Amino acid sequence: MKSLLSGGSETILSRQRDGGSDLILRKMAINNFGTNLNIFADIINELYIKTVAL
């Protein structure tokens, strides 16, 4: 995980601030983080259930 974070990959939160559109995208990413995290947790749970069923 540490290598992924320091690997030089660019994310919406680490970009240089060029203009208004980046600010809008950054705010959208921050405002939807909780919802996206819940969706991700549901998908991981489904994967776990299917894996256990094997």
The 10s digit of each residue's pLDDT in 2-52 is 555 555 566 656 666 666 788 899 899 999 999 999 999 999 999 999 999
Is the whole-model pTM more than 0.95? no
Cα(21)–Cα(46) distance, integer angstroms: 35
CB-neighbour burial class of residue 6 (10 A; exposed 0-12, middle 13-18, buried 19+): exposed
**Joined tokens for residue 52:** 């256990």
Give residue 48's pLDDT: 98
CA 24 to chain centroid, in Å, comes to 16
